[in-house]
């Protein structure tokens, strides 16, 4: 069974930084592509960053150059470093496997950026 638990969210001023962490469980973590998603009020969940087993990263245009995704296979964790945050980054952030099977969506971690 695969599972993900997110942490690290909070309230931050525009232009500031925040680091999110995700602890994952399940077999063969190092072989799986992982992603960070976010869902703002009234909007659909969107993929903002992903990282493959070989550490190749991709980013949504809206966060490119500001966010950095990384992973630690020994600890089965995935992180999202958020710099130069903007009010439009306000959302609940989730991590999940992109390689099936995916985990059930948890509560995520709330990020609120004040202007």
Kind and range of the H or E run holding 7? strand 3-7
Q: Tell me how far apart the alpha carbons of residues 38 and 50 are, in angstroms, rounded to a whole number.
A: 12
**Per-residue pLDDT, 93:** 98
Per-residue pLDDT of the chain (115 residues; tens, 9 = 90+): 889 999 999 999 999 999 999 999 988 999 999 999 999 999 999 999 999 999 999 999 999 999 999 999 999 999 999 999 999 999 999 999 998 889 899 899 999 999 9
pLDDT, residue 9, reads 98
Distances (CA, A) of 72 to 33, 66, 78: 12, 20, 6
**What are the angstrom distances between the C-alpha of 85 and each of 29, 32, 34, 35, 98?**
29, 28, 22, 19, 25
């Amino acid at each position: 069974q695969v599972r993900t638990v997110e942490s690290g969210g909070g309230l931050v001023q525009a232009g500031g930084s925040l680091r999110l962490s995700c602890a994952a469980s399940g077999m063969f973590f190092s072989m799986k592509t992982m992603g960070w998603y976010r869902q703002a009020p009234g909007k659909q969940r969107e993929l903002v960053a992903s990282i493959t087993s070989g550490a190749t990263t991709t980013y949504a245009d809206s966060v490119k150059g500001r966010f950095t995704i990384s992973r630690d296979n020994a600890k089965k964790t995935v992180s999202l470093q958020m710099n130069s945050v903007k009010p439009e980054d306000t959302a609940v952030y989730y991590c999940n496997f992109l390689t099936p099977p995916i985990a059930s969506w948890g509560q995520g971690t709330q990020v609120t950026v004040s202007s």
